[in-house]
Structure 1
């Protein structure tokens, strides 16, 4: 008599196939150990298709549905339990094929209960009794084929033989070896070592590890993660293995298997391997240490796995890299890709396999750190980075600090092994980032149709299909190259309508909004009389090519709110960017931020620099027509008065209208002055949005304004300072002073101010606080609402304007903008960045009053 089965172990992600005749207890077992959503039952599928669990006439359709559900669950990475008889090899084969397709482990649980018990339980079923002959046939088939389950590629097979066993067995869920999502590090991910022992110790010392201790550990608890290829080619294979094995044993390090470890493992196991690429030297060094050491090495290599998923899924480490769909999966295919990468079967001029540049198409959220193909300089490409810098070939040994994303390297002591192929700038022919070697940048399917975009600040934001269609024409016909476009600025909501009789907007309402949101300090920034612009530029053309994957003579762009080039003459943009770049050089901001590129939010002055045609055709035309018409009317009324006609009331109203028109003309003329190319154009930067390694838009506004003040000073007149007042909302004097400043500024014809939380990003009980509230002056609003908007009847009508939709739009667009910057700084695939940028533009097609 065999021992009673006590436990069944199933992977967190996998396929569990229940096999047994009707009445053997499969459904009872499934409901006891798995959730309803994890169970895919053939009977339930019959009911879903034909309203009757026992209707055998719809079995084919029901199993089509069953296989569809199983595939979709495995595709998205969910444990799936198939509750069907599954007694025939052909029935199981289709399920095994799905497990192989989606790279998950398959577990079989056999319900080998006595036939009499199965028949008895089948008779006791309510409403769906399986015929006795069918139960007998199922039982016989199961008994006849159950021994083949291992050959059918089930990873584990469990058999339940008695009712007592069925009632007492426990199901234990096991996390896959590669799944260490709960391990957040911090880590130091070290590239291919290849037997360079001295360099490894030197690098660990540079990283702060105590290299005098045994095993080597970090005093602050950091751990090393080795990307594989510890062995072969170098002189210190045994020493490297000593260090790494002891660190792994002490939980001071993790290690994935490289292709060279796999080959050495097979050699130590007695397999015939080709004596190439340094394995002969490795075996000789191990032999010199004795058989006991070789046995420990063999056991260590046997325990190495293909890849690790770490830090909540934000980090994946695999020797040759790994496309997203294989993260956290386990199969021979996953192992092969992780160890060797994907090849097309061709060889290069050096006789080495041509590897598919998977990183150019990578769109995953997890950062993938890998080695295998040495590069001269590690570069982030679509949130992936190769840290094999060819130490054994005379290059460097490199580590990536995580989560800091800082690179630390030590040089090779000498050339230990002559490379077959010279080191390349970025590995596998990939030059630059984001598809700069000719791969597809953005696909139409990335943006068309209804979209749901997950954002850190605003949750899931939905873009309707008609909105994406409206934005597509702008992006495809007028926008700059998407590689230059990591951000579009959000719309801005105005202050709530004031009850004051002489104006439509006043700071009181804006301050009240931020008080209610729980914001203690705000900054009031002068609103410039210009047009919003985003400046994306690099320190030099080389830096532009490295980060953006594209360069032009200007090493940057200036774009409008819709992503179009701001100037029709590219030379103007180039001159302005040179001026800003020179100011950045003078202030040392590049080195201070550790960056070679910046994204800056700014205002371009004068307004006519972009909107001269709009001014001539709309505002100037309105002003001229009103001036002429009302002036003529006043002349006619003066003549009528001389003739004794009483037109005093009409003359008064007309004179008042003429004053309104004159004020309207005076308002827009302040936005206009002559320019000659770049001369006369001013840039008023107010926020530095992003730089290498950081979304600076999250820093407090005080930091931004101080940094920009330094740029303005260094620029010597080509940049304009943004005046501001910091206001403590619980300080009445502070509020009054800012209000008086606004009043004086707008009385002089100024546009007004923007009030923002001093902390840049703030939340209240209702969610995200508006990033900015604009409060515009009386005279400026004539441009927006017309010359006579202050007439009592017009003003009363305008007080009924609704701001809810505009405020919602501002929040959503702000969340998308920050999300785009987050993804861009994290080096995610361009399509991931662009879906957010495109989403901002798409939301602009919402039916919101443009005057708000």
Structure 2
């Protein structure tokens, strides 16, 4: 009969933090490997025996232990760096062995946790005896392990282990249960929506006003939103106890989260009886708390417990959002160490002090490249804005500024003004010019090597290293100033090969493709035979200075250029390099008011004054049309065609097209005349003569085809600009605006341009599901091309369309005319045999390229509209240029 003493021990829970370094400690034979296999994944466990086998082919070769532990530490470090739970299976009974592991955990900012198997010597010896590879292990080895272990037990926490679990019998080991626990800072399962509130500093009245503005009533939101406080609730302001009561109540009821600020940290130390200086507003808080003691004697204790329970930072919304007090680099997100807590509370300083005696803080946000948005406070700024996916919400309410909140995921800012200056700042709040943009400079590392660019419309787009190198060559030698290079247009896919007799391309296939994609309404836009041009036009020079940082030394496509190369620096701001372009800089004190550049980022016109003259006309038309005020912007970004084609392609015309026409004109008439003379003498050369006449006709048609798009210009006389899309304005991308609305804006530019520079884009809306409408679209294309037009581009009327399966639809399909294609495929391409051969063209790569570049272009526009820093915009822009170096048939 079993007695109470025979009953098995109760199951014991061993809490293990989900990201930690678990160190198994025990003598040989204590069952560490069996314990590891039972409770952890095989990939989570790194065994010293296994590592010995890796380096010596013998798991029991003690002579290989040094190399084996080098391998073990290396693998463990890589796992911890990747954020993986790691378990070290070794005896680990020696202090030095554990010290190295604790140091490794600290290097990667994770918790070291000890699991000790303190089993009796007899049990260890019996287990070793059953193992062939351990049967001859001397008993003294186990005794030595046990002795070292027993001497260490009491000091494991002092060594740095945050948790220590000791199992003293085989039964305890058998009934142990490892339970993985979330880190306190890991709240990824909370998806919001959130209202993140910046530094409060005792401004209770302003906090209540802001909460009301955000929609909170009595500390709760009717829509279930959660407030998140970035810390610095106390000090300097008139009512720190009132702020604490409100925030503590909201946190207790689950309506708010809060991270500590450096001021809470200092107040907490004071409340625990530590000796702290009563400076930077703490004296005022202490005085306010003393007045509270009479009304609520337990309030201090509750405040102390509240502060003591605050976590350094929170990772929220599936990892997309990090909230802390002073900012946090990506390598610290979700990590747990004193170093992480210190950075989250105080930030990082350079060790210097400024002219006001305040520490100079390291600009971590300027180098931040993380996926998660980091929202923080700590350092007051006059105007808050996104910098590299980070934002500071401390806008100096206690100093007479504003109290600011960020709605997430909407990314909307809400603020209320301070009721007065409650505390005079040591450093003036207004330290930068209004409208100045923060952010680190461009860097070579942003664009070189193999890259993956995250986009919102096509997930991840890869750029191969060799393509990046080719793009870097172009950017460093020829591109305009990078501050102006905010977008590059994508390539465009041609329509599927036509089966219509005599045609390589025909509208029927474009309409059919969109119909298959579920797109009913498309707009057919006249395709201007010019050169693709991107136009950035500012309302005035002041806008160019404030928004794009332009100075008199900045050139519209000449002078200082975009990236490094010859200078040897890693900065790509263009402040040191003057390579690769024509013209000079600094010759004129006028600030450029925009840019005109090609689809590879090169300046379109070598004459800066001519570029400015064109921008002046465009700016005047936009002013007369009222577009600045209607779109709420002081700058516009346009996609356009600049004509004539010969304006940019004169070298190509002379060396390639004109040469073909001249050769045909010199040779074919003589050959035809000789054959005609032979036929007159009765020689049977009829078939050959027919071929020669056809060749002459084809050559004439070829010459006529390219001459339609060439004419002489004098300054801007004869130049035509045909904008067909407004890409972006201040604060937003306009790429999602329907094309009919886009063209209506641009028609007004044409209407208000008395100089005739700006040319309209003709168009026709077609219903792909209606046969009559499709016929009308086809007839319109035939009329355009018969009159010498290049053709048309067919686009979904509503941009950013997806198929039923979620695939992104081609943004545009070009359908080029029969005669225009002579320029592309040669004078005789319409011969039946040639047409048949050319129909076997492969469009898959071109279509893929068009979609990838389109997604990158949209990403650049979104980042530009969101006010992200230049390096983030350039990441997408540069990728478009890199993809252009992928090998693809240039005729497509």
Q: TM-score range by the shorter chain?
A: over 0.9
Tell me what 2:309 maps to. Answer: 303
Give, in whole Å, the separation in 1 of the partners of 2:132 and 2:792: 74
Give, in whole Å, the separation in 1 of the partners of 2:459 and 2:136: 50
Alignment of 1:41-190 (within 5 A): 41-125=47-131, 131-133=137-139, 134-190=141-197
Give, in whole Å, the separation in 2 of the partners of 1:334 and 1:327: 8
Give, in whole Å, the separation in 1 of the partners of 2:241 and 2:662: 88
* Aligned partner of residue 468 in structure 1, secondary structure: helix
Q: Is 1:614 aligned to residue 661 of structure 2?
A: no
Tell me what 1:499 maps to. Answer: 499
Shift of 1:504: 0.7
* Structure 2: gaps of 5 or more residues: 555-590
Tell me what 1:283 maps to. Answer: 286
Give, in whole Å, the separation in 2 of the partners of 1:583 and 1:293: 66
Tell me what 1:729 maps to. Answer: 768
Q: Cα deviation per residue 1:535-581 (whole Å; 9 max; x = unaligned)?
A: 34554455445554555523432321212122222333333334444
Worse-superposed segment, 300-309 or 128-137: 128-137
Tell me what 2:713 maps to. Answer: 675
Give, in whole Å, the separation in 2 of the partners of 1:298 and 1:597: 52
Tell me what 1:629 maps to. Answer: 667
Q: Is 1:752 aligned to residue 791 of structure 2?
A: yes
Tell me what 1:660 maps to. Answer: 698
Give, in whole Å, the separation in 2 of the partners of 1:267 and 1:430: 41
- Between Structure 1 and Structure 2, how many residues are aligned? 842
Residue pair 1:189, 1:401 contacting (<8 A) in 2 also: yes
Give, in whole Å, the separation in 2 of the partners of 1:694 and 1:120: 74
Shift of 1:254: 1.9
Give, in whole Å, the separation in 1 of the partners of 2:641 and 2:31: 72
Worse-superposed segment, 329-338 or 649-658: 649-658
Residue pair 1:189, 1:224 contacting (<8 A) in 2 also: yes
Tell me what 2:841 maps to. Answer: 801
Q: Is 1:740 aligned to residue 793 of structure 2?
A: no
Taking a change above 3 Å as real, the CA distance of residues 695 and 60 of structure 1, as seen in their structure-2 partners, is: farther
Taking a change above 3 Å as real, the CA distance of residues 141 and 388 of structure 1, as seen in their structure-2 partners, is: same
Taking a change above 3 Å as real, the CA distance of residues 729 and 420 of structure 1, as seen in their structure-2 partners, is: same
Shift of 1:330: 1.7
Give, in whole Å, the separation in 2 of the partners of 1:312 and 1:470: 37
Tell me what 2:443 maps to. Answer: 442
Give, in whole Å, the separation in 2 of the partners of 1:255 and 1:582: 52
Worse-superposed segment, 221-230 or 507-516: 507-516
TM-score (norm 2): 0.88
Q: Cα deviation per residue 1:319-347 (whole Å; 9 max; x = unaligned)?
A: 11112211111211111111111112111
Give, in whole Å, the separation in 1 of the partners of 2:373 and 2:401: 24
Residue pair 1:433, 1:547 contacting (<8 A) in 2 also: no
Q: Is 1:689 aligned to residue 727 of structure 2?
A: yes
Q: Cα deviation per residue 1:49-69 (whole Å; 9 max; x = unaligned)?
A: 344433333322222221111
Alignment of 1:378-389 (within 5 A): 378-389=384-395
**Quick one: which of 226, 230, 233 aligns to 1:230?**
233
Alignment of 1:381-530 (within 5 A): 381-425=387-431, 432-435=437-440, 440-443=441-444, 445-530=445-530
Residue pair 1:554, 1:577 contacting (<8 A) in 2 also: no
Tell me what 2:878 maps to. Answer: 838
Residue pair 1:664, 1:786 contacting (<8 A) in 2 also: yes
Q: Cα deviation per residue 1:85-142 (whole Å; 9 max; x = unaligned)?
A: 2111111111111211111111111111222222222333465657244333323222
Taking a change above 3 Å as real, the CA distance of residues 593 and 121 of structure 1, as seen in their structure-2 partners, is: farther
Shift of 1:474: 0.6
Give, in whole Å, the separation in 2 of the partners of 1:378 and 1:200: 18
Give, in whole Å, the separation in 2 of the partners of 1:180 and 1:538: 44
Alignment of 1:244-263 (within 5 A): 244-263=247-266
Give, in whole Å, the separation in 2 of the partners of 1:179 and 1:550: 43
Residue pair 1:434, 1:548 contacting (<8 A) in 2 also: no
* Aligned partner of residue 352 in structure 2, secondary structure: strand
Q: Cα deviation per residue 1:332-381 (whole Å; 9 max; x = unaligned)?
A: 11111111111121111111111111122111222222221211111222
Taking a change above 3 Å as real, the CA distance of residues 330 and 590 of structure 1, as seen in their structure-2 partners, is: farther
**Quick one: which of 835, 843, 855 aligns to 1:815?**
855
Q: Is 1:561 aligned to residue 599 of structure 2?
A: yes
Residue pair 2:186, 2:315 contacting (<8 A) in 1 also: yes
Taking a change above 3 Å as real, the CA distance of residues 327 and 586 of structure 1, as seen in their structure-2 partners, is: farther
Tell me what 1:788 maps to. Answer: 828
Q: Cα deviation per residue 1:434-486 (whole Å; 9 max; x = unaligned)?
A: 32xxxx4122x443333344444444444333222222211111112334334
Taking a change above 3 Å as real, the CA distance of residues 539 and 364 of structure 1, as seen in their structure-2 partners, is: farther
Taking a change above 3 Å as real, the CA distance of residues 148 and 765 of structure 1, as seen in their structure-2 partners, is: same
Give, in whole Å, the separation in 2 of the partners of 1:543 and 1:74: 48
Give, in whole Å, the separation in 1 of the partners of 2:737 and 2:37: 51
Q: Cα deviation per residue 1:275-296 (whole Å; 9 max; x = unaligned)?
A: 2111111100011011322222
Residue pair 2:484, 2:595 contacting (<8 A) in 1 also: yes
Q: Is 1:770 aligned to residue 788 of structure 2?
A: no
Taking a change above 3 Å as real, the CA distance of residues 432 and 273 of structure 1, as seen in their structure-2 partners, is: same
* Aligned partner of residue 783 in structure 1, secondary structure: helix
Give, in whole Å, the separation in 1 of the partners of 2:632 and 2:178: 52
Q: Cα deviation per residue 1:798-825 (whole Å; 9 max; x = unaligned)?
A: 1222222222322332333334444454
TM-score (norm 1): 0.92
Taking a change above 3 Å as real, the CA distance of residues 300 and 798 of structure 1, as seen in their structure-2 partners, is: same
* Aligned partner of residue 150 in structure 1, secondary structure: helix
Give, in whole Å, the separation in 2 of the partners of 1:344 and 1:775: 59
Shift of 1:704: 3.6
* Aligned partner of residue 227 in structure 2, secondary structure: strand
Taking a change above 3 Å as real, the CA distance of residues 277 and 184 of structure 1, as seen in their structure-2 partners, is: same
Q: Is 1:571 aligned to residue 602 of structure 2?
A: no
Residue pair 1:426, 1:432 contacting (<8 A) in 2 also: no
Give, in whole Å, the separation in 1 of the partners of 2:63 and 2:738: 68
Shift of 1:667: 1.5
Give, in whole Å, the separation in 1 of the partners of 2:121 and 2:612: 85
Shift of 1:767: 4.2
Residue pair 1:442, 1:830 contacting (<8 A) in 2 also: no
Residue pair 1:17, 1:83 contacting (<8 A) in 2 also: yes
Give, in whole Å, the separation in 2 of the partners of 1:729 and 1:280: 74
Residue pair 1:600, 1:688 contacting (<8 A) in 2 also: yes
Give, in whole Å, the separation in 2 of the partners of 1:797 and 1:826: 48
* Aligned partner of residue 157 in structure 2, secondary structure: coil
Give, in whole Å, the separation in 1 of the partners of 2:174 and 2:144: 25
Give, in whole Å, the separation in 2 of the partners of 1:184 and 1:592: 36
Residue pair 2:488, 2:601 contacting (<8 A) in 1 also: yes
Give, in whole Å, the separation in 1 of the partners of 2:776 and 2:435: 57
Residue pair 2:502, 2:832 contacting (<8 A) in 1 also: no
Residue pair 1:522, 1:755 contacting (<8 A) in 2 also: yes
Give, in whole Å, the separation in 2 of the partners of 1:700 and 1:130: 82
**Quick one: which of 16, 21, 32 aligns to 2:22?**
16
* Aligned partner of residue 228 in structure 2, secondary structure: strand
